Structure 1
Amino acid sequence: MRTLLIAGLVAGACYAQEITVKVDGKPFTVFNYGNDAGKPFLAPVRSASGKIVTRRFPMSNEPGESRDHLHHRGLWFSYDDVNGTKLWENDPSYTKPHMGREVVRSADLKEGAKSSTIAAVIEWRDEKGKVLLVENRDMVFAGDAKLRTIDFHITLTAAQDVTLGDTKEGAFAIRLDDAFTERKGMKITDADGRTTMANIWGKRSNWVDYVADLGGEKLGVAMFDNPGNPRYPTYWHARDYGLFALNPFGRNAFDSKQDESEWKIPTGQKIEFRWRVLIHPGDANVAALYSEYTGKR
């Protein structure tokens, strides 16, 4: 175990298969990368006030909590058609064909002046264990009295010729607490002013925000696409039951008027993405916070 003290931010408790991140001594999240899941994930994820915004299941059993989609674990990045390999719907309890795994080769803490970073190398493997893609991922954690942010910088390098097919099942995603459902009064908004899942799912936008009453507190979780990303602005796989995802790889899966996408990455070539996850008070000006984010890109 080791602990990093970073300008009031602590990234501590670094064990063999998890790294715990704290802000000013308060738990923020845990990077989980053990063999009990088909891919690494961050969970639980907390607000500045300490509320857990992610669903607990299937990591733990909470009375009354939803039990669907075992492969929805916290906050993660994966895709379900990588040379035909399924890396999204790949929970170890499943018996689906062509199911691969994301295996963490290394995960290290890095010290910074005002934030902490987990740098991970992750192999995307097919069902026979052959490496398809090597992901280099930096996750930068920061926060203040009201906000929490996680900035992702992801580079995917093809270990062989890779084709990313066209499916809605992906890619950068979080499974939120059941409070973040429309039946419980949650509100979804995107950068273009659309609201409700019916109007936002399958659309392209710079950002999407979910706001709900969580234990008596109005809280929001937003995802920001980055103007420097390929296919910006991204499509949104934004559901009303707690799944919240952006998907730059699918196209026809979201809009039948579009040609089917085949994103080819030749051996040794790379693609790169940057995204931000923001946990904020329900009354925060997300548009202004997005402008601040893009100004720093």
Structure 2
Amino acid sequence: MRITHELGQWIGLTDDNGIERLRYDYASAPKPFIHPLRLPDGTTITEHEPADHTWHRGLWFAFKFVNGVNYWEERDEIFGYQHTTSTDLYEDSETMKEQCTEEEFEELRGGFMSVFHHNLDWKPSNSSDPILGERRALNMMFQEDVLRLHWCFNIYPQQDVTLDRTPFTTWGGYGGLFVRLRNDLENPRLVFDDGTVTTRCTGERYKWGGIEGTTPDGKDCAVVFLPSPENTRYPEPFYGAAKTDYNFFGPAPLFHEPIVLKKGEKITYLYTVLILPRRINPDEINTFL
């Protein structure tokens, strides 16, 4: 594998066959995101800025409201930005151990391949003062034909904060680590650890959940989220839909109620995300728990 870092812009992960399997863009939009996300044969499976939700970009992490400022949609007069202030790329475990804190190293070293760290300020568009600070880490590795991403989001409130969402009615409740898969998937479905298979999920709690489908040229694909048992409110609520023209899914820890934090009260979210070139086999997913 090979890592390309366009400083101040993005990192790319290329496999041994020369396929760029992902590009993590941390500068061109108000929120960092992964797009494209590709299968081993080069097929792109993520959607980027679709007309129905232009703020959906592949795979990304955000809460909707932080002290009332919208960090999700980018259409309010004042909305939130996640601004990267520094970056580090570790391509071997010894370098990472030298430069990371002991806590970060212990969180990320399992199955280590390559880790990208960056620090972010969450701040509203009308202010230079951050509401949240964040240290984000992305651990990337291949396990045969599975691309495995391990995310660590360490969030540090710079003031007393309320992390919130739009309460669910016929929509709402979302916020967290989400993926938007391409619009043209055939037979898209949501699959969960207890055997549930559905096309809609609105806050039910599971140990893991995934979205799957087939491209028009017959390529099966899936993205599976495995929240850590250390996360607040584990097993986490999930939210999403798998249907024609709209495949959107992820864990939504704020679905049922907001989270209130005091200044300096750190909160951490850990997720493993699996990108599969096939549909979901629960027995296979359970080997990653």
TM over 0.5: yes
Q: CA deviation at 1:187?
A: 2.1
Paired with 2:279 and 2:24, the residues of 1 have a C-alpha distance of 28
Q: 2:118 aligns with which of 120, 123, 135?
A: 120
Rate the CA distance shift 1:45–1:283 in 2: closer, same or farther, 3 A.
closer
SS at match of 2:68: coil
Query: Identity across aligned pairs (percent)?
Result: 27
- TM-superposed CA distance for 1:278, in Å, is 0.7
Q: Secondary structure at the match of 1:149?
A: strand
Matches within 5 A, 1:250-265: 250-251=255-256, 261-265=257-261
How far off is 1:283 after superposition? Answer: 4.6
TM-fit CA distance, 1:164: 1.1
Which residue in the other structure is 2:82 paired with?
A: 102
SS of match in other structure, 2:159: coil
Q: Secondary structure at the match of 2:287?
A: helix
1:83 to 2:67 alignment: yes
* Equivalent in the alignment of 1:26: 19
Q: Which amino acid aligns with 2:44?
A: I
The C-alpha deviation readout for 1:135-168, integer Å capped at 9, x for no partner, is 1111011114411111101111111111112431
1:111 aligns with 2:112: no
- Cα RMSD (Å): 1.8
Query: Per-residue displacement from partner, 1:82-134 (whole Å, max 9, x unpaired)?
Result: 100100112xxx3x144111111112211135511110111111232221111
Match of 1:213 in 2: 214
Pairing 1:176–2:181 present: yes
Q: SS where residue 203 of structure 2 aligns?
A: coil
Measure how far apart 1:27 and its partner are. Answer: 0.7
Question: In the TM superposition, what is the alpha-carbon distance from 1:74 to its structure 2 partner?
Answer: 1.3
For structure 1, the residue ranges without an aligned partner over 5 or more in a row are 1-8, 59-65, 252-260
In structure 2, stretches of 5+ residues that fail to align are 94-111, 167-172
- Encode CA deviations 1:18-71: one digit per residue, 9 max, x unaligned: 11111223211111122x41111111111223221101x33xxxxxxx521010
> Does the 8 Å CA contact 1:179/1:186 hold for their aligned counterparts?
no
Alignment of 1:1-297 (within 5 A): 9-24=1-16, 25-34=18-27, 36-55=28-47, 57-58=48-49, 66-90=50-74, 94=75, 96-112=76-92, 114-129=112-127, 130-167=129-166, 168-180=173-185, 184-198=186-200, 200-214=201-215, 215-240=217-242, 241-251=246-256, 261-283=257-279, 285-289=281-285, 291-294=286-289
Matched with 1:3 is none
Q: Are the equivalent residues in 2 in contact too, given 1:84–1:98 (CA < 8 A)?
A: no
Give the residue type in structure 1 aligned to 2:139. Answer: V
| Distance change (3 Å), C-alpha of 1:245 and 1:276 | same
Q: Which moved more, 1:16-25 or 1:74-83?
A: 16-25
For residue 119 of structure 2, give the secondary structure of its aligned residue in structure 1.
Answer: strand
Contact 1:12–1:19 (CA<8 Å) still a contact in 2?
A: yes
The one-letter code sitting in structure 2 at the alignment partner of 1:74 is G
Q: TM-score, normalised by structure 2?
A: 0.84
- Indicate conservation of the 8 Å contact 1:88/1:169, yes or no: no
Question: How many residues were matched structurally?
Answer: 259
TM-score normalised to the size of structure 1? 0.81
Which structure has more strand as a fraction of its residues?
2
* Alignment-mate amino acid for residue 107 of structure 1: T
